[in-house]
Amino acid sequence: MTQSAISIRGLEKTYAGGKRALCGIDLEIPRGSIFGLLGPNGAGKSTTINILAGLVNKTGGTASIWGFDIDEHPRNAKRSIGIVPQELVFDAFFTPFETLELQAGLFGVPKSQRRTMELLRAVRLDDKAHAYSRTLSGGMKRRLLVAKALVHNPPVLVLDEPTAGVDIELRAQLWDYVRELHALGTTVVLTTHYLEEAEALCDRIAIVNQGRIVANDMTHTLLATAGDKKLIVTVDRDLTAAPDGLAERAELKGERTLVLTYDKRTTNAGKVLAAVAAAGLGVVDVSTKEADLEDVFLELTRSVV
């Protein structure tokens, strides 16, 4: 057994018609981590997840889950992973209780070992256990999908856009539960378009673009690679446009606020403020903003043609 929760080597997928979705991806997801797999729409994230789930056949490379190769040991590989898909797919006439019981049966979980009500309580759906699934709100259905992915107690949980369409309160509840699972030893793989979630939750992040991994590092290391820094300066007079020569990029927000973007590897805030003073402007207030994951993401995904 490898020490990785998921190990991917040279993974390729070419669809009928010649569209190449994955171009030889290599990826190691450590056990016990919360791992972010990010990328723009169509980058290859869902294709990768669907290959791991056994829903899409790869055209090259290898992949293993918890040490089980998905081709050589497909049953063990599938039992080692639980996947929460993007789509809210349910039988409208099944209750949450019946949905989890059926899923447990499909995985061969004996009745004496099923945790149906425990899981429903964990995702705060125990009061809806016997209501038809069609009566649940979007957030409730999303939480039911999480419970459904956990019926066979997998060591790896994949969350594919789990908070899409979920309100702020329910999103917070979902992340609290994910943190509880992680604390108990579950490896969590997350894809999301809410980059602030990935930045706050993930130990490590990989960014995929056009079927290739363009970054893969610890979150704090990835953030440190961004060179841009912003200086927000309030000046002492109204402006109609940002003066030239203050920084690499200068924007005027309102009449007196300048947002000055510079490369912290080649200059510093003092030089930028000196340029503001040289332009005849007095500084009333100043603050700085470090690059966040969104800045890194845009920089890396724009750079690949």
Domain boundary among 156, 189, 218: 218
CB atoms within 10 A of CB 262: 22
What is residue 1's predicted lDDT score, i.e. its pLDDT? 43
Tokens of 152: 């066979």
Contact assessment for residue 100 and residue 151, using Cβ atoms and an 8 Å cutoff: yes
Rounded Cα gap, residues 305 and 299, in angstroms: 12
Task: Tell me the per-residue pLDDT of 161-180, one tens digit each, with 9 for 90 and over.
Answer: 887 767 788 788 888 888 99
Q: Do 202 and 285 lie in a common domain?
A: no
Total number of domains in the chain? 2
Q: Do 156 and 192 lie in a common domain?
A: yes
Q: Do 77 and 188 lie in a common domain?
A: yes
Q: Do 80 and 204 lie in a common domain?
A: yes
Specify the CATH number for the domain of residue 297: 3.30.70
Q: Do 202 and 81 lie in a common domain?
A: yes
Rounded Cα gap, residues 301 and 39, in angstroms: 8
Specify the CATH number for the domain of residue 173: 3.40.50.300
Tokens of 245: 């020569």
Domain boundary among 155, 183, 218: 218
Calculate the CA 124 to chain-centre distance: 23
First to last CA, the chain: 38
Domain around 129 = 4-218
Contact assessment for residue 97 and residue 139, using Cβ atoms and an 8 Å cutoff: no
Tokens of 209: 């673009």
Q: Do 195 and 62 lie in a common domain?
A: yes
Q: Do 63 and 92 lie in a common domain?
A: yes
Q: Do 76 and 101 lie in a common domain?
A: yes
Q: Do 211 and 76 lie in a common domain?
A: yes
Q: Do 270 and 211 lie in a common domain?
A: no
Q: Do 22 and 87 lie in a common domain?
A: yes
What stretches in the chain show pLDDT beneath 50?
1-2, 304-305
Q: Do 19 and 109 lie in a common domain?
A: yes
Domain boundary among 218, 239, 265: 218
Contacts of 135 (CB under 8 A, 6+ apart): 128
